[in-house]
Every structure is written in structure tokens, then in C-alpha cells.
């Protein structure tokens, strides 16, 4: 099948209601927000938006209810040029909505989700021919549908990238099918208690990933690949407003580097810079830069 998209993503999608606050209020207290925004969210969904802004052709496969929140999620993706031709809308179901409180001074945040009532993506809702037409498949969960899609990709010679944001019992099965594993420090700590983050990246590599990465927020990331292990620092030349979605943007930018066939250190540098720029505005998507903005920051 002819390649139509550089990257196809499968994952969770949300509506994020974001409030910047000077402190988190306790029960019975009131805290006035200094800013507010409503944006689409979700790990792979936001990575697809980042890729689209950088110039890649992308498609996202997700699932929402048929409520106004689901319409908002889809409209936000379409507005960014993300294909949603295989997106699933379930009747009489609620989409996932998240309350995000962002600390006014540090940019750190906390989340309170309203869990959706629509069912998870099912294997029979995926189109094998469509998924195996991409150059790269990006996933954010180790559910049955994602593992099946990863198997299809591997047998078709398509690279698989896994955003390990949360650890589940099926994660190791997906990791064995993954070419690039980029996991959070929370995922790393739950997968391998007692191991250093460097040891976790080496474990990811030993499990089959050609590149294993643990993202560490303001401390950058640790990377292991065929030529060894290194730590790349985060960019601190930007004034952080909100760190929401920075890890998702890192994934999208790293995948962009894969599409360009850059070496691993260049991909890490590019991804770190792109993620840093995304922190300049409230929300996971408002601050995502275009390619020129990243190149200007890097001085390339």
C-alpha cells in the first residue's frame, strides 16, 4: 500500500481544562485562577499535533463519545491538519475530560480526569492495511489494540515508538515490539524498582528497543542506544509557564528526527528544544513551535 502518512498514532485523547493558580486550594477554600485555557490533550494525540506543526503528515486513531467534548477533540485535531479518517465515535458515551491545575510559579501541574464512558479501542476497529501504510507507528498504551497494531507494524517493517507514560502489566509485551521506547520517570520507577534511570534505559535496550529513553523533566533525559548511554540536559533558556504536554511534544519531535534520519544525539537535542518551547504557553498544545522556531532556538 502506498505510504500516505509519515506517522500514524493510536492512543488516548482528552479535553484539558487548564487553570494557572498561585497555589492548589484545599477543600472549603477558594483560589482565583490567573489564566485559563481549554485545549485538546492526550499523549499521542498531542505528539501528532507537534509533528504536524513541524511539517510531517500524520493521522491519529482514537475514540471518544458522541458528546460536545468529543466534537471538540476532533475539531482541535482537524484544525492542526491531523487526519482523523479512522477516528471512532461511540454513541451515547462520554469523552475524557481533565481538570489541570498549573502552579503559577513553577509550571508544574496536577490532573483530575473525568473518566470517559466510551469503550477502549477494539482490534476489529483497526484497519491493518491503513496502519501498515505509515513509516512510523506511535502508541501510548499497552492495550490489546495497540499491541496488535505493533505486531502488524513489526511484520511490515514499520518502526514502532512507545510513549510509556504509565506502567501496566502488558507493557513488557509491547516493549518487545518497540523500536524506540521513551518512558517517563514514573514508568521507569514502576517497571524496575530500585534501578537507576540509566539502568532502566539499558534494560529497555536489552528488551529489544534500538533506543531506550527515560525523560526526566527539568533534568533532561537519559538515552541508551547501540553506541552507548548518555544524558542530555533540558533547555533552561526559556521562561516556563506550563509543563503540560512537554513530554508528548518531546516524543513528536524525536519522531520528526527519526523521519530525517538524524543521529541519536541530534534527535535528543531537537526534541529537548521543541519540548522547552512548548512550555512558553499555557496548555499542552498552545506553545508547540513550528520548525523554524526550533531551528532558531538551536542556531542550526
pLDDT value at 236 more than 90 = no
Alpha-carbon distance of 299 to 296, in angstroms, equals 5
Give CA–CA dist 53/49, Å, rounded: 6
The residues spanned by each domain of the chain are: 7-21+35-298
% of the chain surpassing 70 pLDDT: 99
Looking at residue 131, what is its pLDDT?
97
Mean predicted confidence (pLDDT) in 24-35: 92
Q: What is the pLDDT of residues 114-156, one digit of tens each?
A: 878 999 999 999 999 999 999 999 999 999 999 999 999 999 9
Mean pLDDT of the chain: 95
Q: Is the pLDDT of residue 1 over 60?
A: no
Q: Of 154, 5, 141, whose CA–CA distance to 62 is shortest? A: 141
Model pLDDT for residues 259-268, shown as the tens digit of each residue: 999 999 999 9
pLDDT bracket for residue 85 (50, 70, 90): very high
Q: What is the pLDDT of residues 41-80, one digit of tens each?
A: 999 999 999 999 999 999 999 999 999 999 999 999 999 9
- pLDDT score of 238: 85
Q: What's the Cα-to-Cα distance from 191 to each of 23, 37, 167, 203, rounded to whole Å?
A: 32, 34, 6, 10
User: pLDDT at position 197, please?
Assistant: 97
Torsion of CA 226, 169, 167, 140, to 10 degrees: 80
pLDDT digit string, tens, across residues 248-259: 999 999 999 999
Helix/strand/coil for 221: strand
Of residues 25 and 8, which shows the higher confidence score? Answer: 8
Residue 17 clears pLDDT 60, i.e. is over it: yes
Q: How far is CA 241 from CA 105, 106, 129, 205, 291, in A?
A: 8, 8, 41, 34, 21
Copy the grid coordinates of residue 60: 491519529
Q: What confidence score (pLDDT) does residue 237 get?
A: 77
Banded pLDDT at 84 (limits 50, 70, 90):
very high
Q: Tell me how crowded residue 246 is: count the other CB atoms within 10 A of its CB.
A: 25
Which pLDDT band holds residue 2 (cuts at 50, 70, 90)? Answer: low
β-pairing verdict for 211-215 and 180-184: parallel
pLDDT tens, residue by residue, 154-179: 999 999 999 999 999 899 999 999 99
Q: For residues 28 and 49, give the distance between their C-alpha atoms in angstroms, rounded to a whole number.
A: 38
Pick the CATH number of 7-21+35-298 from 3.20.20.110, 3.40.50.300, 3.40.1190.20, 3.10.129.10: 3.40.1190.20
What's the predicted TM-score (pTM) here? 0.95
Whether the per-residue pLDDT at 244 is higher than 80: the answer is: yes
pLDDT of residue 108: 86
User: Strand pairing partners for 164?
Assistant: 183
What pLDDT, on the 0 to 100 scale, is given for residue 235?
A: 85
Q: Say what the pLDDT of residue 3 is.
A: 67
Q: Judge whether 25 and 230 are in contact, CB under 8 Å.
A: no
Average pLDDT over residues 74-103: 97
Amino acid at each position: 500500500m502506498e505510504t500516505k502518512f509519515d506517522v500514524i498514532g493510536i492512543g488516548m485523547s482528552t479535553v484539558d481544562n487548564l487553570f494557572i493558580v498561585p497555589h492548589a486550594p484545599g477543600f472549603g477554600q477558594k483560589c482565583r485562577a490567573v489564566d485559563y485555557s481549554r485545549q485538546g490533550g492526550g499523549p499521542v494525540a498531542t505528539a501528532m499535533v507537534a509533528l504536524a506543526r513541524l511539517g510531517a503528515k500524520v493521522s491519529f486513531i482514537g475514540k471518544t463519545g458522541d458528546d460536545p467534548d468529543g466534537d471538540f477533540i476532533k475539531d482541535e485535531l482537524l484544525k492542526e491538519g491531523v487526519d482523523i479518517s479512522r477516528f471512532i465515535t461511540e454513541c451515547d458515551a462520554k469523552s475524557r475530560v481533565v481538570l489541570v491545575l498549573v502552579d503559577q510559579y513553577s509550571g508544574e501541574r496536577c490532573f483530575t480526569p473525568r473518566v470517559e464512558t466510551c469503550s477502549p479501542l477494539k482490534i476489529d476497529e483497526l484497519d491493518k492495511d491503513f496502519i501498515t501504510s505509515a513509516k512510523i507507528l506511535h502508541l501510548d498504551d499497552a492495550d490489546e489494540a495497540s499491541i496488535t497494531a505493533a505486531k502488524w507494524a513489526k511484520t511490515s517493517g514499520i518502526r514502532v515508538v512507545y510513549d510509556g507514560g504509565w506502567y501496566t502489566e502488558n507493557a513488557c509485551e509491547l516493549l518487545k515490539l518497540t523500536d524506540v521506547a521513551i518512558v517517563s520517570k514514573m514508568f521507569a520507577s514502576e517497571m524496575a524498582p530500585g534501578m537507576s534511570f540509566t539502568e532502566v534505559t539499558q534494560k529497555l535496550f536489552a528488551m529489544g528497543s534500538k533506543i531506550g529513553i527515560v525523560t526526566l523533566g527539568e533534568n533532561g533525559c537519559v538515552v541508551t542506544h547501540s553506541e552507548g548511554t548518555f544524558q542530555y540536559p533540558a533547555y533552561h533558556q526559556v521562561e516556563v509557564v506550563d509543563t503540560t504536554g512537554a513530554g508528548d511534544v518531546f516524543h513528536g519531535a524525536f519522531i520528526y528526527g527519526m523521519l530525517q534520519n538524524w543521529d541519536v544525539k541530534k534527535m535528543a537535542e531537537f526534541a529537548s528544544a521543541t519540548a522547552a518551547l512548548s512550555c512558553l504557553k499555557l496548555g499542552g498544545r498552545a506553545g508547540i513551535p513550528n520548525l523554524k522556531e526550533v531551528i532558531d532556538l538551536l542556531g542550526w
